[in-house]
Chains A and B, each alone.
Chain A
């Protein structure tokens, strides 16, 4: 299962925001790759395709789905899978990724990445769905570990074991979201280092870094919310370092979806990640 053909370069990448289309094309910044949410580009034509086409000519691309609902109780949405196939054919992304989560129930789409009970029926279902995706799209996918706020009494696996089993059975890769690791670890009183070390790190094809928001729960304890709306926290940078020491340099996305700063601010965060990637590669 090793050496999956994930083609993103071991560099820092940025989420491609429509607000930054013109700046990216105008200034051609030294960015390792761009990532887009697949669903944003499931439109017939117009500026989104125009700009993505031009940017794709110059940068590697990661296609990141947020609507496939791999953990759904029902079957996968075949139409949605077809739309993904069309995008992959058009843009030939170096990577396609989705989430260990559900977002649809029956015909209703809930527009959030919802948590799964880690039990045997869920494991079979998730593996079936990933097999379906990989055989339809004719390429391996990366599965992202979730940020969660609740646990299920029905769960019989811990999250890292569950992910290990999914990756062993399906041959998919891991999109290791280090911010999600930290958020979930605080929310569920887990040791983030032990969690990372329990993951199948040989299968990591991409890393995500992002910022979170802070809230408190009914006991007044810290409750972290994965909102992609802040700079990367120091605790997350430290975990990232821990990961790189084990994996070596891996393509790393800086995610920012709300309270979008100037492109230069995101580029500076990408440079920080690039610096750590260089060190992890043993180059000075």
Chain B
């Protein structure tokens, strides 16, 4: 594999682990991996079903569960469309928040700017769908990074729809 470059991203040192190949970026706190599932275009329905079941299990309200399923699906669909046609979802819970991480190992197909790296949002325009835009609307946090080894998108759903790191007065 050539995609093993783990240099910290100067723009986001705290995200230096984000491009690590195999591990979920579960942070330091206590986290329990709930789901680790590979997908391709033909198995997105199974991915949605699994995410829905685990989100309910984690105690997300129904409407937030809908939103989480929408968000994970759109990230996975982007991985299928712009990655190597497949990807991997990992989902875990920490402090009541649901974290999902979608990885694809593909370099962009057919002559796209595979080498540009950086924030992949810049080369994920809202076409042909509005996938990433939808994710931004419903997720409490989102980060998307790409490197030579592929793309990693991570989202967080907080229990009350709020980011505790922002809500604490400063």
Partners in one complex: no
Taking Cβ atoms with an 8 Å cutoff, the residues of A that contact B are: none
Taking Cβ atoms with an 8 Å cutoff, the residues of B that contact A are: none
